Structures are given as structure tokens and as C-alpha cells.
Structure 1
Amino acid sequence: MDWSNFIIFALISVVLWIAGAVAAWRDRRGLALAVTAAGLAVFFAFIVGMWVSLERPPLRTMGETRLWYSFFLPLVGCIVYSRWRYKWILSFSTMMAIVFVCVNLFKPEIHNKTLMPALQSPWFAPHVIVYMFAYALLGAAAVMAIYLLLFKRGKEVTATETSLTDNLVRAGLAFMTVGMLFGALWAKEAWGHYWAWDPKETWAAISWWAYLVYVHFRLRYPARLKAAFVMLVVSFVLLQMCWWGINYLPAAQGASVHTYNLQ
């Protein structure tokens, strides 16, 4: 399995995800979940194939992390739809996954077996994978917040809608916390210290605190929904700085060991 096979697996997966989204809008829940799951299986088969071919987890470059985000977005959409029956969530998660798939198709990156010594730690893969799943959950929460801000203007937000948003944030924050702990163990093994306030680590701490503030704000001021949703959108913007924005900051150039290899 190599990168040239990606277009085949990607097209099959995207067609299945679109079919799942259409089935959801037609109230065919069982078919929607089954077809979406089939697309996830096909896409994950490519990830596993790349893992075997590269003889390492496909997590070194930004393009490789986009593979995981493309996988986790429909997965989270599927979980949310199966639990809360929001039809639009599968459509949106599919649309966002297609965006990441297209970026990888039109801007392919070099995927070779080279893995720097620091990335050969057993903590590397679980750290990044758990973080990618957290990003997908928090991305869904941000989408929900934007939806409630834009389309619920002047209308009463239901308890189910706020519960969905809060549950996504709490789950995402929990996975982010686990991911940070894995990252600390990885850093200790690779560089001899758990935390060094590297630019990437600094933004990770900022984004973690932002979501923690949101959780406590919701507990302290449950009726101030608009402020909470704005806070959630801002938190997601900070999370993007932690994920890929750090690569373009002058402070990280040549100074951060966490910036992704874009070659």
C-alpha cells in the first residue's frame, strides 16, 4: 500500500459517506449508520495499509494527521447522529471530511519510512491518535455552537441541544487531557522532561485551559448561553493554533520540536 492508492480508497469512502448523509435526511437511520460505517471501514483500511507499508504510524506529516481527522470526523458524526438523531451532523461531518480528503489529494505530501528518533517512542501514536479524536469531538461541538448562534437567534435553545454541546466538549476535553498525559510521557522518554513550554506545548496548555474555562462557565452561569457558545468558538480557534497554526508562527521556526514536517 502506498500513497498512489489513496484516491481509490478516498473516492469509495466519500461516496459511502455521502450516501449515509442522504439516508439520514430520508430518515433511514439504520441504512445511514451502516453505509457510513462501511465508508469508515474502507478509509481505515487505507490507514492500516499505510501503517504497514511505512512500518510506522502514519502520523509524521500534516498530511498524515489529516488522514486521521478525515476518519474521525464521520465517526464522531455517526456517534452523535446515532445518539441524538441530528440529521445535519452526518452531512456536515461528511462535508468537512471531504475537504480534508481533497486537500490531501490536491496537495500530496511525501510519505516515506523515515522517522526521527524522538518519534519512535511507543507513546507517539496514542498521543496523536487520541488528540485527533479530541479535535473531531471539539470540532463537532464548535459546529453545534455556531449552529445555535446563527440559526437559533431569537429562538429558545432546547435542553437537548445544550446537553449535546456540553457532552461533546466534556468528552473532547477528557480525550485532550489523556492526549496531553501521553504527550508528557513521550516527552520524558524522548527529551528527558515532561514539559518545557515549547511553543506547541504552550498553545496546547492555552487550548486546554480555554475548554476548562468553558466547562466551569457553563456550571456557574447555565443561563448565559450566547456567551458560552462564543467562548466555545474562540476555544476552537485556539485549538487550531495548537494543531497547525503553530507551524507558521515565527517563534516556532527552528525552536519547536513539535512542528510537523511538511515535506
Structure 2
Amino acid sequence: MGETRLWYSFFMGIAGLLTYIRWKYRWILSFSTLLSTVFVIINLLKPEIHDQSLMPALQSIWFIPHVTVYMFSYSVLGCAFIIALCGLVHHKEEYLVTADNLVYSGVAFLSIGMLLGSLWAKEAWGNYWSWDPKETWAVVTWMGYLLYIHLRLRRKFRKKMLYVILIFSFLALQMCWYGVNYLPSAQQSVHLYNRNN
């Protein structure tokens, strides 16, 4: 879990910088830097042993691309979340257009991450998909963002509701990333690698 937090911290800074370069929202730099810093601090307060040997399932060629692509998508969707919060407060149309572009790229990377994960699962456990709790929450998250995309394309849907869908989709993403580890059903999960986290 510690490595994913470091990747997220790194990619959140990049996503915030790219969002600033493209749309000139100076405030996104502050929020993305704050989020990056929070995740670095969490890693400092809760250090994990990063040099331990990996279990066989994690030694797959698909593992690192799967996790890295997911963390990049999470950071891009994190910027969309920040934009959605600001959009609710400021009621600006341009924020929704920015969120659209972030969600399109974030969902593309999320989809690639799911594909890489299914290839990894086939190699590691013999099945492409097992409806494991983390996989189930990944689908819930993916469907939440797809719902946003489809409703956004209708153009007649209320903007406030679209921002709310983005916020709830991001909360589902957080549940998928680390919240699911605290569910009783996760104890039998193939995605729970370190029982101490």
C-alpha cells in the first residue's frame, strides 16, 4: 500500500501541473500539492518495509504496469474531483468542461488498468475476473464515471448533479483503493497482500 501512496503522490503533482498548464487554474497547483504532501506524510507516519520479497502473484510482468496505470488514473480523477468541488461552489461552466477532459483521460487509463489487472489475474490465479471485493468496487467506480460521461453527453442534465456524480464516483474510487481492505469480505480477497495495513 505504501508504494501506491508514493506513486499517487508523484502522479497527483504531475496531474495538477498538467491541469494548470492546460487550463491555467493556479489554485489546482495548491490543491494537488496539498494532496501529494498528505500522501507523503502518511508514508512517513506509517512506514512499510519496501525491500521485502514479493509473493509469487506479485512477481508478474503485469503487476507494475497495472498498479502504475491505476495510480495515474486515480490522480487524474483526483484532479477532476477537486474541479467538481470547486464547480459546486463557484457554478462555473468552464469547470465542467475541464472535468470532462480529466474524466475522459482518467477513465481511459482506468480501463487500461482494469485490462492489465485482468491479464495479471489470469496469469496469477487462472481467471481474468473473480468478483473479488476490490474488483467489484473497481467496476462500481468505473460505472460511476461512465454514468457521468453518458449524462454529460446528453447536455440537458443539471450541472450540480453532474458534479455530485463526480464526487460520489471519487468516493467509490477511494473505497476501491483502500477502503475495501477494511471490509470483512476483504479478508479472503486476493488483493489483500499485507494483513498489517
Confirm or deny a common fold (TM above 0.5).
yes
Counterparts of residues 97-176 of structure 1 (less than 5 Å): 97-152=36-91, 157-158=92-93, 160-176=94-110
Per-residue displacement from partner, 1:120-155 (whole Å, max 9, x unpaired)? 110000000000000001010011001111233xxx
Deviation (angstroms), 1:251: 0.8
Q: How far apart are the structure 1 equivalents of 2:193 and 2:113?
A: 17
**Counterpart residue number, 1:50:** none
- Given the two structures, how large is their TM-score scaled by the length of structure 1? 0.72
**Counterpart residue number, 1:84:** 23
CA contact (8 A) 1:137 1:172 kept: yes
User: Is 1:243 paired with 2:177?
Assistant: yes
Q: How far apart are the structure 1 equivalents of 2:15 and 2:110?
A: 15
User: Is 1:64 paired with 2:3?
Assistant: yes
**Counterpart residue number, 1:75:** 14
* Identity %, equivalent residues: 59
Q: How far apart are the structure 1 equivalents of 2:2 and 2:118?
A: 24
CA contact (8 A) 2:85 2:163 kept: yes
Q: How far apart are the structure 2 equivalents of 1:210 and 1:224?
A: 16
Q: How far apart are the structure 1 equivalents of 2:179 and 2:45?
A: 20
Per-residue displacement from partner, 1:98-119 (whole Å, max 9, x unpaired)? 1111111111112223100001
**Counterpart residue number, 1:199:** 133
Q: How far apart are the structure 2 equivalents of 1:174 and 1:131?
A: 10
Whose Rg is larger?
A: 1
Aligned partner (choices 156, 167, 177) of residue 111 of structure 2: 177
Per-residue displacement from partner, 1:58-82 (whole Å, max 9, x unpaired)? xxxx111111011001100110111
**Counterpart residue number, 1:259:** 192
Q: How far apart are the structure 1 equivalents of 2:43 and 2:27?
A: 25
CA contact (8 A) 1:247 1:260 kept: no
CA contact (8 A) 1:200 1:259 kept: no
**Counterpart residue number, 2:163:** 229
The runs of at least 4 consecutive aligned structure 1 residues that moved more than 4 Å come to none
**Runs of 5+ consecutive residues of structure 2 not aligned to the other structure:** none
CA contact (8 A) 1:211 1:232 kept: yes
Deviation (angstroms), 1:222: 4.0
CA contact (8 A) 1:246 1:259 kept: no
Per-residue displacement from partner, 1:136-182 (whole Å, max 9, x unpaired)? 01010011001111233xxxx23x32211100011000000000000
**Runs of 5+ consecutive residues of structure 1 not aligned to the other structure:** 1-61
Higher relative contact order (CA 8 A, sep 6+): 2
RMSD: 1.2
CA contact (8 A) 2:137 2:176 kept: yes
The residue type paired with residue 258 of structure 1 is H
Per-residue displacement from partner, 1:207-236 (whole Å, max 9, x unpaired)? 111111110011124451000000110000
